[in-house]
Amino acid sequence: MTIELTFLGTGSMVPTKDRNVQSILLEREGELILFDCGEGTQRQMNIAGYSRAKVRKVFLTHWHGDHVSGLIGLIQTIFNSGYQHTLHVYGPKGTKLRMEHLRKTVDFENKVSLEVHELSPPTGQTMTAFENEDYAIECASMKHGTPCIAYRFDEKDRVRINMDYAFKEYGLKSGPLVGKLKRGETVEFKGQRITPDDVCYKVAGKSFVLIPDTGVNNLIPLLAESADLMISEASFTNEHEGKAQEFKHLTAAQAALLAQQAGVKRLVLTHFSQRYTDSGTHLAEARVHFPDTEAAHDFFKVKV
């Protein structure tokens, strides 16, 4: 199964003519999940050709305006479109109260089915934010000026059957017995005993981690360990490392060193300060430490 990520906004606090503020869209098996929802996110979705009515979950990293200011408009739009689902919103400590305040700022013409989940990972540890039979989302607290959450998406391993081998060796075709084998059950077929180990193999699930606004901290490599993809804020270059430290952000080089420490396969940088006209310097400084680095731009797509 393919996980596709679309960067709907790659700037920091102030949108520019080239970069909208933060939002990343995940598409998997027709389900859309948003990570942050900055100003203009629903318009960016429209331009990218995504139906806003397919969003089922929104994971907020923190409550700074460039990460949440598009949320109320998106909620109003999708529920005015005849949305038949419950929208789940996840976020750090304070999210329930802030969502109550946010909903009071507008009048809703249609009934809103909205469930808010507040996440408070234990200090120095990760915790599960969401899990179903297909994937799990872990989270950890970051080091920023307000409660801030990083997320990791892990697909679960999938069991597959080598149908060519199963037919050649056992005469087995698709059907209920195949389903039982995939569930780990041993079956009998034409007098033969077939175990899952005889015909099954595992396909490893994919993973990515999103590191939002934060200063350097030890939880980043812990959460990101061996991920297929790490997406990280890189607000500053080495020239402005002092500002990164002051405002609890990362430089591109720091993000790359953390990716190296975590042993991830790929790194994509985002959340660039409006002071930079391009991301060339960020990319050059990051690749010194982690060669497989890319710099995102609005509507940049990555398959995991």
Give the Cα separation of 1 and 207 in Å (integer): 12
| pLDDT (mean) for 62-81 | 93
Q: Give bridge partners of residue 156 from the DSSP assignment.
A: none
Contact 260, 289 (CB under 8 A): yes
Residues 140 and 169 in one domain: no
Residues 191 and 262 in one domain: no
Q: Identify the pLDDT of residue 183.
A: 84
SS3 (DSSP) at 155 = strand
| Domain region containing 238 | 4-150+208-303
* Block residue for tokens 């801030």: 148
Residues 134 and 265 in one domain: yes
Q: Give bridge partners of residue 275 from the DSSP assignment.
A: none
Residues 274 and 296 in one domain: yes
Residues 177 and 283 in one domain: no
Boundary of a domain, candidates 167, 201, 235: 201
Using the predicted structure, report yes or no on whether residue 266 has a pLDDT greater than 80.
yes
Residues 145 and 288 in one domain: yes
Give the Cα separation of 122 and 116 in Å (integer): 19
Structure tokens at 35: 């990570």
Longest dimension (CA), the chain: 73
Number of domains making up the chain:
2
Give the Cα separation of 123 and 224 in Å (integer): 17
- 66 catalytic? Reply is yes
* CATH number of the CATH domain containing 64: 3.60.15.10
Contact 81, 73 (CB under 8 A): no
- Please state, as a whole number, how many other Cβ atoms lie within 10 Å of the Cβ of residue 152: 22
pTM of this prediction? 0.91
Query: Pick from 3, 7, 23: which is nearest to 134 by CA?
Result: 3
Using the predicted structure, report yes or no on whether residue 109 has a pLDDT greater than 80.
no
Count of alpha carbons within 13 angstroms of residue 73, beta-carbon side: 12
Residues 232 and 169 in one domain: no
Using the predicted structure, report yes or no on whether residue 1 has a pLDDT greater than 70.
no
Residues 103 and 195 in one domain: no
Please give the residue that has the higher pLDDT: either 105 or 9.
9
pLDDT in tens, 181-208: 888 889 998 888 988 889 888 889 999 9
Contact 250, 214 (CB under 8 A): yes
Residues 121 and 244 in one domain: yes
Residues 230 and 197 in one domain: no
Residues 126 and 167 in one domain: no
> Is residue 110 very low, low, confident or very high in pLDDT (cuts 50, 70, 90)?
low
Residues 141 and 35 in one domain: yes
Q: Which listed residue (18, 36, 66, 198) is catalytic?
A: 66
pLDDT in tens, 36-50: 999 999 999 999 999
